[in-house]
């Protein structure tokens, strides 16, 4: 296994305090590696960065069209949302339209990341439910496919027809046989691949058009839905939402737990995947900003970019006490 590359550093008081190392790959529409840092063959769990891959059966089986899903819902199927009222409402209505309810989800409950909704629950003395789970959009999509296929209720089991379809699509688009899987925070299988395989998959999405094969049309719709409805993919203040807005809907990006990040860049027909070794998301956000700016699709001077690189470190009194910087030699 190749060594990770130094990518992002935290400086404080004129001294280097922390260094984040990782792996990053840019692939073109032929699947070839254009540029790479660290080890392209590093096997990772893509976590939530691959939700557009997990959503392919939603479109390819005809389930999305059968149930009349909107592009806003398609974007929500790729979400790692923060449980804002619009996200909770979207999941609730989607399930109701299917004749299902919160109890049919298998993602588990957790406290919403959105402070407004969290405070509302506290004031109302209500417990968070599965609708607040950041993956409830993905699981609503899973349930849509499950109902369309008339498959069993335990759709997160790795031998369920849905998950078999997800694995087949995942391996076909990454161009690699997955060496295994782990169980994600939302209880769904998460299939492993290399950083290069994940970048290759994003490049396949980037070149997909609206008049190609069933898969190409599905990829095109997923990419455009995410870029058009960034608020459904994450939420206010989050990197995915703010950076997609800053790029004017030209690029779709998606983060994953443990500092994975991907980008789909249709106008350049490029795909990006990166993984920070220590799992720190401040570093994955900074590295992605740097790569997007390098390619020319993100203005490095935009507020959304500046918030993450150089990412001034502000203490409790509002004083600027440090900043993130790119490591020397990265880019």
* pLDDT for position 2: 84
* Maximum Cα–Cα distance across the chain: 61
The owner of tokens 């609730």 is: 92
Buried b vs exposed e over 153-192: b needs ≥16 C-beta within 10 Å?
A: eebbbeebbbbebbbebbbebbebebeebeebbbbbbbbb
3-state secondary structure of 286: helix
**pTM, whole model, 2 decimals?**
0.97
Which overall architecture, per CATH, does domain 5-326 show?
3-Layer(aba) Sandwich (3.40)
Given a contact cutoff of 8 angstroms between Cβ atoms, the answer to whether 206 and 160 are in contact is: no
Contact 158, 132 (CB under 8 A): no
Contacts of 184 (CB under 8 A, 6+ apart): 45, 47, 48, 135, 190, 257
Burial class of residue 80 (count of CB atoms within 10 Å of its CB; 0-12, 13-18, 19+) = buried
Tens of each residue's pLDDT in the chain, 331 residues: 689 999 999 999 999 999 999 999 999 999 999 999 999 999 999 999 999 999 999 999 999 999 999 999 999 999 999 999 999 999 999 999 999 999 999 999 999 999 999 999 999 999 999 999 999 999 999 999 999 999 999 999 999 999 999 999 999 999 999 999 999 999 999 999 999 999 999 999 999 999 999 999 999 999 999 999 999 999 999 999 999 999 999 999 999 999 999 999 999 999 999 999 999 999 999 999 999 999 999 999 999 999 999 999 999 999 999 999 999 999 8
Provide the 3-class DSSP secondary structure of residue 21.
Answer: strand
- H or E stretch covering 270: strand 270-276
Strands 5-12 and 270-276 turn out to be unpaired
CA gap 166, 141 in Å, rounded: 12
24 by Cβ neighbours in 10 Å (0-12 / 13-18 / 19+) ranks as buried
CA neighbor of 77 nearest in space, from 239, 254, 217: 254
Q: Which two tokens stand for residue 254?
A: 């998606």
Query: Distance between CA atoms of 197 and 180, rounded to whole angstroms?
Result: 14
């Amino acid at each position: 296994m190749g060594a990770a590359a130094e990518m992002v550093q935290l400086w404080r008081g004129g001294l280097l305090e922390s260094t984040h190392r990782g792996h990053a790959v840019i692939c073109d529409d032929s699947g070839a590696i254009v540029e790479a840092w660290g080890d392209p063959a590093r096997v990772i769990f893509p976590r939530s960065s691959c939700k557009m891959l997990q959503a392919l059966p939603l479109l390819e089986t005809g389930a999305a069209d059968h149930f009349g899903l909107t592009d806003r819902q398609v974007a929500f199927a790729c979400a790692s949302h923060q449980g804002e009222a619009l996200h909770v409402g979207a999941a609730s209505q989607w399930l109701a339209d299917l004749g299902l309810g919160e109890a049919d989800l298998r993602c588990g409950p957790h406290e919403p990341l959105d402070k407004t909704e969290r405070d509302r629950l506290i004031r109302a003395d209500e417990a968070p439910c599965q609708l607040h789970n950041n993956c409830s959009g993905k699981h609503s999509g899973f349930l849509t496919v499950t109902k369309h296929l008339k498959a069993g209720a335990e759709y997160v089991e790795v031998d369920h027809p849905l998950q078999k379809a997800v694995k087949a699509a995942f391996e076909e688009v990454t161009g690699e046989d997955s060496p295994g899987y782990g169980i994600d925070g939302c209880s769904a299988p998460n299939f492993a691949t290399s950083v290069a395989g994940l970048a290759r998959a994003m490049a396949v999405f980037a070149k997909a058009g609206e008049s190609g094969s069933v898969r190409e049309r599905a990829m095109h719709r997923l990419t455009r839905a995410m870029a058009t409805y960034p608020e459904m993919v994450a939420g206010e203040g989050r990197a995915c939402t703010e950076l997609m807005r800053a790029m004017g809907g030209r690029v779709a990006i998606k983060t994953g737990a443990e500092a994975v990040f991907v980008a789909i860049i249709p106008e350049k027909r490029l795909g990006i995947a990166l993984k920070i070794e220590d799992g720190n998301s401040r570093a994955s956000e900074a590295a992605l900003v740097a790569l997007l700016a390098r390619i020319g699709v993100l203005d490095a001077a935009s507020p959304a970019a500046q918030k993450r690189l150089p990412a001034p470190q502000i203490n409790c009194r509002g004083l600027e006490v440090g900043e993130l910087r790119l490591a020397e030699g990265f880019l």
